[in-house]
Amino acid sequence: MRTDATKASKQGETLDAMDRASSLKRHDSRMIIHFDYDCFYASVFEAENPALKNQPLAVQQKQIIVTCNYEARRRGLYKLQLITEAKKVCPDVVIVLGEDLTRFRNASKELYSFLRKSIWSGQAERLGFDEVFLDCTDMVNYNIDILNHNDLSHSFFCLDQNDPTIGFQYDASEPFGPTYPPEAGAVSDQDLQLYQRLVLGSHLARYLRHELENEKGYTATVGISTNKILSKLVGNLHKPKSQTTLVPPYDASASSESHVTTFMDSHDIGRIPGIGFKLSQKIRARILGRQPAFDEGLVYGGTKEKVTVRDVRTFLGMGPEMLEEILSGPGSQRGIGGKIWGLIQGVDDVEVSQAKKVPSQISIEDSYTRLDTLDEVRKKLNLLSNSLIRRMHLDLMEDDDDAENTDHGISKRRWLAHPRTLRLTTRPRPAVNPDGTRSRSFNRVSRSLPMPTFAFSLTENVHALADRLVQDSLIPCFRKLHPERSGWNLSLVNVAVTNMAETAADSKDSKGRDISRMFRRQDDVLKEWRIVDEDVAPHLTDDVNDLLEGSVDEDVCSEATPPTSWESDEEVQDNVDVCGRCGLSVPSFALLAHERFHQMPD
């Protein structure tokens, strides 16, 4: 077998870069399981009405199918298809409206809560509505210690340290389900421990997937590895209702190449979580030696330029310093070169975060075909503000059930946190070119201002608060953002609150009461879903909106994609990936669907 070293030198990889690669520390002691629910929105409707399961079911937002169930996919429907086309292909398709996100948000919270309770560490992190990371290191380590190495195929996975009878039987001599690579070959002594832990991780993943299906009726596609980036990416290999384990070696040796390297190398650079649209374009430009085209042609007819992780990794002189030089600029993160250098090699030390009590931002946005008058802007801001305040009430408040604070037995509400900043963002549409075409723009502009305190009123109703927010804060802010009275045309408006200040400390209550409330909350609320993350705003992507140009502009708000630990380089941080084929930016959750778009026959 060729070693990584000989292979690399063939490709002109410098020794220098190789040294740096080998100096990267991979933390292989964790066991991370990544869940991606299958056709999530459609499954939510099916869970509400199981009769839909046997019918082709599609979920509509604006004029598009955002997802459809597998019966519909079997009949030729796909994500991001126009409704009109879908009806032609499958006239008996059942179409349900998915513009109100409440049911998806609730289902997402319920499934998250279920998964979190199924593991010991409590380290469960939601990414978007339909992805969850679980840190199962402690469960796997415990079960490694109780393995009977003389009879691995009759093992028992213990799910409760206090009760050895609770668990399931499994065959610990091999992983459950598909692996990457499919034919793993013999495991070296050096890799045996990691391999064994991954085997246990794969069986735990199978158990959790089945529990999710049996108890909640949802199927998922799962990835098993030692960190977030690897578990998320490897899960994509077998969809739906399946799982994939990335098996060792994770490091190259004289006799074998690293499966992590081979796996990561095969990805387009824009597919790596954490490398947003702008970063990947900068990297492409250096590798190609010219500006990568992405803006030509029709919506889906852009360039097919592909720059893989391998192209980047083996580029002459490539390493953390070169990446730092390529990527640094105004506002860039310090040490970005080293971070990205690690990510493209599957190194990701970021912990699976625990549930957060309050989201770090709430963000509501909508996109428009044409928005070019102040009157219309005022109307849209009003709708967005109404949604924003409703969401603040839902996500930033709790019942204040202290006896002396109840009103005839009905609990009053109290704020868990006050956002300190209000932010208005717009995405101006570039003017039409002389030849009638229009350049694509992903650029957003934003302004922040202090959150006005009247917005926290518990007595005024939502409509009145929204009116005042628009009049007193958002319209003046808008005027600063767009000083010209006319001449602009906006394709998107986003209103967000950020910079949360938790209120327990400055509560009027005594310290003792706060502590008792804290314990009560731990008992009551921690068990259940609180607010784990910024709720995601699955919204139609820029390209999909372009596709819809000319269609009716609907006043449906969606919540904006939150920043994640894999931050993006967008001006307003969005969880955006770039399509490897056409270079368009697509929210991470929509990337696979978008790619399928390319595979469509003309």
Give the footprint of Mg ion on residues 29-48 (CB under 5 A): 36, 40
Q: How far is the CB of 353 from ligand TTP (least distance, A)?
A: 21
Compute the distance between CA of residue 10 and CA of residue 196 in angstroms, rounded to an integer.
Answer: 34
Closest alpha carbon to 535 in 400, 396, 430: 396
Label each residue of 456-520 as H, E or C: HCCCCCHHHHHHHHHHHHHHHHHHHHCCCCCCCCEEEEEEEEEEEEECHHHCCCCHHHHHHHHHH
Name the helix (H) or strand (E) containing 46.
helix 40-48
Q: How far is the CB of 394 from ligand TTP (least distance, A)?
A: 20
Residue 66 contact, options ligand TTP, Mg ion, none, Cβ 5-8 Å cut-off depending on partner type: ligand TTP
Q: How far is the CB of 172 from ligand TTP (least distance, A)?
A: 30
Q: Which CB atom, from 38 or from 553, has the smaller least distance to Mg ion?
A: 38
Q: How far is the CB of 66 from ligand TTP (least distance, A)?
A: 4
Compute the distance between CA of residue 601 and CA of residue 298 in angstroms, rounded to an integer.
Answer: 16
Given phi > 0 = left and psi -120 to 50 = alpha, else beta, which region is 201? Answer: alpha
Residue 272 contact, options ligand TTP, Mg ion, none, Cβ 5-8 Å cut-off depending on partner type: none
Q: Which CB atom, from 66 or from 396, has the smaller least distance to ligand TTP?
A: 66
Segment interacting with Mg ion (CB under 5 A) among 122-130, 226-234, 314-322, 559-567:
122-130
Residue 240 contact, options Mg ion, ligand TTP, none, Cβ 5-8 Å cut-off depending on partner type: ligand TTP
Q: Which CB atom, from 158 or from 590, has the smaller least distance to ligand TTP?
A: 590
Q: How far is the CB of 132 from Mg ion (least distance, A)?
A: 11
Q: Which CB atom, from 36 or from 395, has the smaller least distance to Mg ion?
A: 36
Q: How far is the CB of 592 from ligand TTP (least distance, A)?
A: 5
Q: How far is the CB of 430 from ligand TTP (least distance, A)?
A: 23
Residue 159 contact, options ligand TTP, Mg ion, none, Cβ 5-8 Å cut-off depending on partner type: none
Q: Which CB atom, from 37 or from 341, has the smaller least distance to ligand TTP?
A: 37
Residue 130 as a binder of Mg ion (CB under 5 A): the answer is yes
Q: Which residues bind ligand TTP (CB under 6 A)?
A: 36-41, 66-67, 79-80, 130, 240, 538, 540-541, 544, 589-590, 592-593
Residue 79 contact, options Mg ion, ligand TTP, none, Cβ 5-8 Å cut-off depending on partner type: ligand TTP
Compute the distance between CA of residue 49 and CA of residue 113 in angstroms, rounded to an integer.
Answer: 22
Segment interacting with Mg ion (CB under 5 A) among 125-133, 178-186, 202-210, 413-421:
125-133
166: Cβ contacts below 8 Å, ≥ 6 apart: 158, 159, 160
Paired with 447 in beta bridges are: 424
Residue 590 contact, options Mg ion, ligand TTP, none, Cβ 5-8 Å cut-off depending on partner type: ligand TTP
Q: Which CB atom, from 240 or from 335, has the smaller least distance to ligand TTP?
A: 240
244 close to 180: Cβ distance less than 8 angstroms: yes
Class of residue 521 by CB neighbours under 10 A (exposed 0-12, middle 13-18, buried 19+) = middle
25 close to 260: Cβ distance less than 8 angstroms: no
Q: How far is the CB of 118 from ligand TTP (least distance, A)?
A: 20
Given phi > 0 = left and psi -120 to 50 = alpha, else beta, which region is 66? Answer: alpha
Q: Which CB atom, from 257 or from 577, has the smaller least distance to ligand TTP?
A: 577
What is the Cα gyration radius of the chain? 25
Compute the distance between CA of residue 143 and CA of residue 137 in angstroms, rounded to an integer.
Answer: 10
Residue 541 contact, options Mg ion, ligand TTP, none, Cβ 5-8 Å cut-off depending on partner type: ligand TTP
Compute the distance between CA of residue 445 and CA of residue 482 in angstroms, rounded to an integer.
Answer: 10
Give the CA diameter of the chain. 79
Q: How far is the CB of 61 from Mg ion (least distance, A)?
A: 15
**What SS3 state is found at 571?**
coil
Q: Which CB atom, from 66 or from 493, has the smaller least distance to ligand TTP?
A: 66
Q: Which CB atom, from 270 or from 538, has the smaller least distance to ligand TTP?
A: 538
The shares of helix, strand and coil residues in the chain, as percent rounded to the nearest 5, are 40, 20, 40
Residues that bind Mg ion (CB under 5 A): 36, 40, 130
